[in-house]
């Protein structure tokens, strides 16, 4: 049976700023975000991943690397939706 796990990236400075929308802005995780990814890693230790795919944005990619300990494949199709100029 195929199991698919979807995880959300850890906290960024913009998330901490009243959940400000990041969109495609490529900002890193905060210290709290890094700790969140490590906490998730502890929860996923018993799972063997056959493949891990991530958006190329560093907040998602870093979270995936830390949380799974796997070789993460960046996939442009997973990048945040682009809503154009507001």
Coil, helix or strand for 54? Answer: strand
Element (H, E) at 14: helix 13-16
Q: Is 9 a catalytic residue?
A: yes
Q: Is 80 a catalytic residue?
A: yes
Question: What is the longest distance spanned by two Cα atoms in the chain?
Answer: 43
Coil, helix or strand for 52? Answer: strand
The β-bridge partners of 52 are 72
Pick the catalytic residue from 9, 31, 38, 76.
9
Pick the catalytic residue from 11, 38, 76, 80.
80
Give the catalytic positions in this structure. 9, 80
């Amino acid at each position: 049976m195929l199991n698919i796990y979807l995880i959300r990236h850890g906290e960024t400075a913009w998330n901490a700023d009243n959940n400000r929308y990041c969109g495609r802005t490529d900002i890193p995780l905060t210290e709290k975000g890094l700790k969140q990814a490590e906490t998730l890693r502890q929860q996923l230790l018993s799972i063997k991943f056959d493949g891990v795919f991530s958006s190329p944005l560093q907040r998602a990619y870093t979270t995936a690397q830390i949380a799974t300990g796997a070789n993460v494949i960046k996939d442009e199709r997973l990048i945040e939706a682009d809503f154009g100029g507001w």
